[in-house]
């Protein structure tokens, strides 16, 4: 990926959103399941998870918009294209990032179907996916 005219300020701002959201979720993820499910913690985590996912796909959209022929219209396509363009590992793109795109869509459009148990599982098992994504993006910015 040479000569991409990336707006690093935009990307760094979104990275900051992801990192701050992860820190907020980290504080809550250590709660026992019962505490998490009974308290307003579900709503807080849902908010920060949505922020982190939106920032993730804002970064994807920004990068892909700078690559000739990489125009994509939906988040799952963005995930796959990020792998095809070798910005993130292809297996990560086709699996974790693709699932993140699908979950982002559910949080936004089918939020009433998302359960506290599902959010609890995600924050305890899947937050590392954001770190994998950030590592790839930071590597791209260093080029």
Per-residue confidence band for 29, with pLDDT thresholds at 50, 70 and 90: confident
9 burial level (CB within 10 Å; 0-12, 13-18, 19+): exposed
Distance CA 27, CA 72 (A): 35
Question: Do 103 and 53 contact (CB within 8 A), yes or no?
Answer: yes
pLDDT tens string 39-96: 688 889 999 999 999 999 999 999 999 998 887 889 999 999 999 999 999 999 999 9
Per-residue confidence band for 27, with pLDDT thresholds at 50, 70 and 90: confident
Q: How confident is the model over 120-132, as a mean pLDDT?
A: 94
Q: How confident is the model over 104-130, as a mean pLDDT?
A: 92
- Domains of the chain: residue spans and CATH: 8-142 (1.20.120.580)
Among residues of the chain, what percentage have pLDDT more than 90? 74
């Amino acid at each position: 990926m040479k000569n991409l005219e990336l707006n690093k300020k935009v990307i760094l701002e979104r990275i900051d959103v992801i990192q701050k959201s992860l820190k907020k979720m980290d504080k809550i993820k250590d709660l026992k399941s019962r505490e998490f499910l009974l308290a307003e913690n579900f709503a807080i985590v849902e908010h920060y998870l949505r922020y982190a996912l939106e920032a993730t796909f804002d970064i994807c959209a920004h990068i892909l918009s700078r690559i000739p022929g990489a125009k994509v219209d939906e988040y799952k396509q963005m995930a796959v294209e990020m792998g095809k363009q070798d910005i993130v590992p292809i297996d990560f793109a086709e699996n974790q990032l693709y699932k993140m795109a699908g979950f982002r869509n559910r949080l936004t459009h089918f939020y009433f179907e998302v359960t506290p148990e599902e959010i609890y599982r995600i924050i305890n098992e899947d937050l590392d996916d954001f770190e994998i994504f950030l590592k790839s993006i930071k590597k791209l910015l260093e080029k």
